[in-house]
Structure 1
Amino acid sequence: MGQITVMTGPERRRRWSDEERFQILAEAFAPGVCVADVARRRDVSTSLIYTWRRKLREEHADAVPLPMAKVGFAEAVITEGDRRDEHDSCAAITVDLAGGSRVRISASAPSLLVAATLKALR
């Protein structure tokens, strides 16, 4: 008689319910949250989270705007002191300004907000 090995653990191709997807999306795109941190915590690829968001937006393009798609003001935080050795894992763009100030733009920031921010910094 041969030997059989039973592999246990998470299934390679998981299935997510709509409710689980909505929870993950709401958590990932909440103000001040890093998508990569949520992805790590929930054991989901970041690209899958962005794919879910894109598909959800496409499905509801004509409907009422989704809570995570709302346009609003981004919080600006100015800190004192030299923090040049800090690294923000969520920042896709970091701009160092004269006088030691720094502007960080998240990878999940809307393109219009990024364009307006960079235009204002000119």
Structure 2
Amino acid sequence: MTMPCDDVGTSGVQRFEVFTGRGRRRDWAPETKASIVAESYSNAETVSVVARRYGMSPSQLFTWRREFRKQLEDRGLTLPVASRPPTTFVPAVIEPEPACDPPAAVKRSRRQRRSKASVVELEIDGVAVKIGRGADVGTITAVIDALRAPR
């Protein structure tokens, strides 16, 4: 970011940086690191949740875990693998639908029985046009005039 200066004799660019949030490096005590890594290996929570709790990035915690595994391998040890409970399924139960009475016949008024799909079909000089119900007179007239117009 370039900032104008009051001093005319100053040449070059001055830089101004603003750091927000946690910008400092933290030194973790070895006991604290070991505690955080051990907590990340408990299958109670994900690594990301544990990292977030301590205000660190998950990638940092994954790095610590990798370093810890390497130290164990150098000593000829391995991490015990926590056994997961076997996957089980809930049994599906299908119940027969209860017998219900057929719906009573509803008498519909004459207006409701009329088809909503009624249309006017026009064919002029081999061109067929369907005009739907509810079209206004002006629209129908315009369509008929367009079909009759010489081409």
Q: TM-score, normalised by structure 1?
A: 0.48
Q: Which one has the bigger helix percentage?
A: 1
TM-score calculated relative to the size of structure 2: 0.40
Q: Taking CA–CA contacts closer than 8 Å with sequence separation of 6 or more, which of the two structures ends up with the larger relative contact order?
A: 1
